[in-house]
Copies of this chain bind each other. A is one copy, B any other.
C-alpha cells in the first residue's frame, strides 16, 4: 500500500467506497424480531451482513481494496493471509476484477471455508496455524508472484469498505441510540466508528468482544495494544488482536466495549437461528450475546446490531445434542 493512500477515511471516503463497491455487494436488509427485543429489553435493528455476498461484511472491505488498486498495482493479483471470511471475500473480489488471489490459510481452517475460497477461484497456500508461519508464507507468496498484499483489517481501504454497512444502516434507520459491532482485528468496528461519527455523531458506537478474547477491551483501557495470547473462544473470527490503524480509530471514536461469555455467544447464536431464522456464525452473535448479558445503559434503547457473518460448518454446530462420536465423524 503506497504511503499517500494511507489516510484515515472520513465520511466522504466511506461514501466513495459505497459507490465503488455497489455493483459487487448486496444492500443487505435490516431485520427486527419481537422475540429478541423482548429478551434484550431493547429495540434491535439487525443489519444482516450474514446475507452479504460470501456470507460476511468482509466482501465490502475486500471489494473496496481490490477496486481501489490501479491496473498496474493489481496486475499480478492480490494476496492475503486469513483463516476465514476475508479469504473468501478477497478471492471473490479478485475474480470480479479478473485477477488472481493467493490466499495463505492455516491448515486447520474449517473445510467449509477452504472449499468456499477454492470455489471463488482463489489459490490456497497452506501454512502452519501460527501467526509467524502465516506471515512468512505470505511474504514468500508476495515475493514470488508480485501480488498486492491486502491486509484483512489493518488497512484504511478495508476500514472504509467495512464502514459502508453502518452507513446503510443509519440511512435506513436514522434514529438509533447506538450501533454495536463485533471487534476482532477491528476492521468492522473501526469502519463503523468512522461512519457513525461522520454521519450521526450523537449515536453511540459500541464494540462487542468475547470475554475470552478481550484484547480490545484491555487495549482501550490501557491506552496501548495489548494482544490476546492464545484466546479460546467459539467466535473464531474474533480471535485476532487489534490492528494499529484500527486501535487508533477506536481509541478516538469508540464509546465502549461490551463483553460476552462463551455460553452467551452460543445461546445468542441459537436464538438468532431459532427466532430470527438467520444463519449467523458465532462471531456475528457476539453483539447480541453481550447485550443479553450486560445491556447496561443500552437497555430500552434503539440499537443497531451488525450481524457480521453467517459462515458456519453445519456439521459442527456448537450446541447439543452432539455426542463426541458424531462430531469426530464429521
Chain A residues with CB under 8 Å of chain B are 26, 29, 31-32, 34-35, 50-51, 53, 55, 112, 119, 270, 273-280, 310, 314-315, 317, 319-323, 325-327, 329-330
Contacts and interface: CB of A to CB of B under 8 A. Distances in A.
Contacts of A325: 323, 325
Contacts of A270: 314
B330 A321 contact: yes
A50 B274 CA distance: 11
B322 A326 contact: yes
Contact of A277 (B50, B320, B327): B50
Identical copies of this chain, number: 2
B330 A326 contact: no
Contacts of A119: 35
Contacts of A274: 112, 279, 314
B51 A277 contact: yes
Contact of A51 (B31, B280, B314, B322): B31
Nearest to A307: B277
Given A53-B34, A326-B326, A314 B279 contact: no
A278 to B, nearest CB: 7
A315 B318 CA distance: 11
Contacts of A330: 320-321
A306 to B, nearest CB: 14
A248 to B, nearest CB: 32
Given A273-B279, A277-B310, A278-B278, A323 B320 contact: no
A37 to B, nearest CB: 12
A276 B273 CA distance: 13
Contacts of A32: 26
A280 to B, nearest CB: 8
Given A29-B29, A31-B51, A321 B310 contact: no
17 contacts: A26-B31, A26-B32, A29-B29, A29-B31, A35-B119, A50-B277, A55-B275, A273-B279, A277-B280, A279-B279, A314-B319, A315-B319, A320-B330, A321-B326, A321-B329, A323-B326, A325-B325
Contact of A276 (B51, B322, B323): B51
A188 to B, nearest CB: 17
Contacts of A278: 51, 277-279
Contacts of A35: 119
Nearest to A277: B310
Top 10 A-B residue pairs of the complex, sorted by shortest distance between their CB atoms: A277-B310, A29-B29, A277-B279, A321-B329, A50-B277, A321-B330, A326-B326, A323-B326, A321-B326, A273-B279
A35 B119 CA distance: 10
Nearest to A330: B321
